[in-house]
Amino acid sequence: MRMLHGSTPKPVPSSAHTPALLPWALADGSLEALKWVALVLMAGDHVNKYLLDESSATLYALGRMVMPVFGFALMFNLARPGALAAGLHLRVMKRLALVGALSTPAFVYLVGWWPLNILFTLLVATLVVYLLERGGRLRRLLAALAFIVGGALVEFWWPALLTCLGAWAFVRKPTAGRLAFWVLGTASLAIINGNFAALAALPLIGGASKVDFPLRRNRWFFYAFYPAHLTLLALCLAAR
């Protein structure tokens, strides 16, 4: 895959025991395009689930790609050189906590109090990555605890966290072993989804790495869309 200057985390040199893949990169515009695809699929999946009683098998299957794509987009940004030193992880956790809380009333109406919505899933994944990147035995233990406890509380549970961690590990150091971890983590979503449609997100991401889409970043729209569309769906459901 061709390198795109300035748009990829710097790979860590691999050892003789972990064969490296070809250098891997993704343009910022392509990452933004992936997020737009995931947003459209998420909206369709939620309309199908809450307003159409999951009558469309196609919308359901397409919607299984949403979590892996958004998880990848987040992990890709967290893996950028200098992200930890710049405090990106802490800022992201604050945003996810705030918007996740704002989304909770509508989410509770639609789903219930448990599990917590997907933004808290991404929050737990970010916390685990933050602790692992900080390093040290105590932080690794805390990361394991956050994974175990947090995974029991959030949407898509531990498979979602495995999907995110696999993406993060691969982006930081693209090796065959880490790619296998990412694939298996994504495949584990079948326990919840009832199918392996989530795996279709991986070739979609791989294909995006070969194209440089001229899209500008629009971070706050994605944050605002989640609680807004859940609230609209809850109002539509209540009006029935």
Q: Tell me: pLDDT of 12 over 90.
A: no
Q: Which residues contact 176 (CB under 8 A, 6 or more apart)?
A: 18, 19, 21
Judged by average pLDDT, the poorest of 18-22, 96-100, 151-155, 219-223 is 18-22
The residues spanned by each domain of the chain are: 28-238
The Cα–Cα gap between 59 and 41 comes to 8
Q: What is the pTM of this model?
A: 0.91
Model confidence pLDDT, tens digit, residues 115-171 = 999 999 999 999 999 999 999 999 999 999 999 999 999 999 999 999 999 999 999
Q: How many angstroms separate the CA atoms of 41 and 23, rounded?
A: 29
Residue 99, both tokens? 């918007």
User: Within a 10 A sphere around the Cβ of 94, how many other Cβ atoms?
Assistant: 11
3-state secondary structure at position 154:
strand
Residue position matching structure tokens 């992200």 = 83
Give the separation between CA 208 and CA 30, rounded to whole angstroms: 6
Average of per-residue pLDDT values in the chain: 92
| Tens digit of each residue's pLDDT (9 = 90 or more) over 199-229 | 999 999 999 999 998 888 888 899 999 999 9
11 within 8 A of 174, measured Cβ to Cβ: yes
| Residue 235: exposure state from Cβ atoms within 10 A (0-12, 13-18, ≥19) | exposed
Please report, as a single letter, which amino acid is at residue 7.
S
Amino acid at 41: L
Q: ∠175-180-182 over CA atoms, to 5°?
A: 95
